[in-house]
Chains A and B, each alone.
Chain A
Amino acid sequence: MGHLLRYLFEPGFFSSGPVHDALAVGAVVAITSAVVGVFTVTRGQSFAGHSLADIATTGGSGAFLIGVNQFWGFLAFGAGAAAFMEMIGVQRRRGRDVATGVVLGAALGLAALFLYLSTQESSTTGASFTILFGSIFVLTSSTIPALIVSALLALATVVVLARVLLLSSLSPDIAAARGVPVRAVGTAYLMALAISVALSAVIIGAVLSTALLIGPAATALRVAKGPVRAAAVAAGIGVLATWLGIVLAYDSYYWPPAGRGWPVSFFVVTLIVGSYLATYLRPRRQRAVPETLDTEHACSVA
């Protein structure tokens, strides 16, 4: 057993400062993204999450160019985009199409420019990689408190809004008729979504951030019934995938090509996709209810 553990955890894993930070921040972000993600999938807003990630890429690369930590760029652009989406009405299909065609293309174009300029300027070839694919091992210690606080803020928002979010995804009209400020609740939720996209962007990169948001939630929704259980399962999958990803990335330093190490985001995303695919291996539970006609008949007789 000891042998096996030593084989899994390469020397120095538990004494490395960056690894400690990565494990702690990774867990907090994974839990936040997974819980927010359950509502994203339930509300059918995976698309909004993806759009926010694309636009956050622009913010992160712009921030890098002007020498600000990319988290603030992810956050500012994500939140701005969320406000814009709310304004044009991302709920409307037509609004979505327009946003896809015009805004997202422009955003990624700008990101390309910023990343190109950053590379030219500081010869840090890692810039594009850090923005696009994450930087969990090089967290700036001064931003860690901000990451944790933001995560708690997003998590608190969806926990406080949990019931009204579920009621308004069931029917916005019922929610409005019962006095829920549906629009304000939707905006607050989009802000929480923007925060968790920014956080995931720091961990596994802007272009992959939706994997941490949607993947665990989608997996959980396939296996767990009821919103509370789904959120718990999603959080568990998110944390496991992130931690295992960190361990494997650390170990991969000793894998070929020697001395390079594989990116954390590769492992995290692969583990999440793997868990999602695994849900297709088990047969879906059948409803333990007789055919509709029989049910109706039984009721009208009773």
Chain B
Amino acid sequence: MSGELLRLDGVEVRLGGREILSDVSLTIRPGEFTGLIGPNGAGKTTLLRVILGLQPVTSGSVLIEGSPRPPRDSSIGYVPQKLAIDPDMPLRVRDVVSLGVDGNRFGISLPSRARRARVADMLTAVGAEQYADARIGELSGGEQQRVMIAHALISRPRLLLLDEPLANLDISSEQSIVSLLGRLAQSEGVAVLLSAHDMNPLVQVMDRIVYVAGGHVAVGTTDEVVQPEVLTRLYGHHVDVIRVHGRILVVAAEGLDEAAAHAEDVGVAR
């Protein structure tokens, strides 16, 4: 049946002698929702940049549908971690989404009815049609996320990467972004790989989890990966997994200082 959309094989990244990622292997199938979970500084952003081709690998391979990703390819959509958008930036929401179509091309684009309709449809799909004519810099964090998701999806990618899209969102925006992504993954048939330091908001929608810690990854379903033995091996010291009120807490058991640090890292203290 369906093959693999993305395959990473033995990826290693060293920066200035420091090992950021080592022996990372994972696959993502079409339409799958994958959470890239791990504490801050674990290498989540680096891993996303490797997949995008922005970060060269020291060894290993990254294949999209069986071959290396060509430049200017629109198979991957990307929503970066944070955008510092000036309120005076002249781009309206519909301009930003329109740049998702052909912002990587030279020359100017002539206005077209078909493009306008396509942009309007995309804005409706992410629930951003009410502020289509507002400037992107005037929007709240959650609204900007919706627009950037529309920007990333309009070129019809098969894989959508999002770097910490839930950071700095209030709880209601967080929930609406997660359910939006879950819905889009199904309706558009796009695979989603989303990084977060707290897995809890994603548990309902995740098909699989890629847990990153100490430069290594563990891949599987949430129940397979978020186990004390698996995470203990990954972190390199003893870790407890506590399930309480439907929430999952990952706590380092040894050494009080360390425990506090890690509890905070994985978003337990929310």
Contact = CB atoms under 8 A, between A and B. Distances in A.
A287 B74 contact: no
Given A178-B72, A289-B134, A292-B143, A167 B103 contact: yes
B138 A287 contact: yes
A102 interface: no
A164 B106 contact: yes
B54 A177 contact: yes
Contacts of A164: 103-106
A300 B138 contact: no
For the residues of A in contact with B, the DSSP-based class is helix
B104 A179 contact: yes
B54 A171 contact: no
Contact of B95 (A226, A287, A292): A226
Interface stretch (A36-44, A63-71, A260-268): A36-44
Contacts, number: 117
Interface stretch (A11-19, A117-125, A154-162): A154-162
A224 interface: yes
Interface in B90-147: 90-92, 95-96, 99, 102-109, 127, 130-131, 133-136, 138, 140, 142-143
B176 A299 contact: yes
B80 interface: yes
A179 B85 contact: no
A152 interface: no
A166 B136 CA distance: 13
Nearest to A231: B90
A176 B54 contact: yes
B15 interface: no
Interface residues of B, number: 49
Contacts of A166: 91, 95, 99, 103
A288 B52 CA distance: 37
25 contacts: A38-B90, A42-B91, A44-B86, A159-B108, A163-B107, A164-B105, A167-B103, A170-B85, A170-B91, A171-B80, A173-B52, A173-B54, A175-B103, A177-B78, A179-B73, A180-B103, A221-B90, A226-B91, A226-B92, A227-B95, A287-B134, A293-B172, A295-B130, A295-B143, A300-B179
Interface of A: 38, 41-42, 44, 159-164, 166-167, 169-171, 173-180, 221-222, 224-227, 230, 287-290, 292-293, 295-300, 302
Interface of B: 49, 52-54, 71-74, 76, 78, 80, 83, 85-86, 88-92, 95-96, 99, 102-109, 127, 130-131, 133-136, 138, 140, 142-143, 151-152, 172-173, 175-176, 179-180
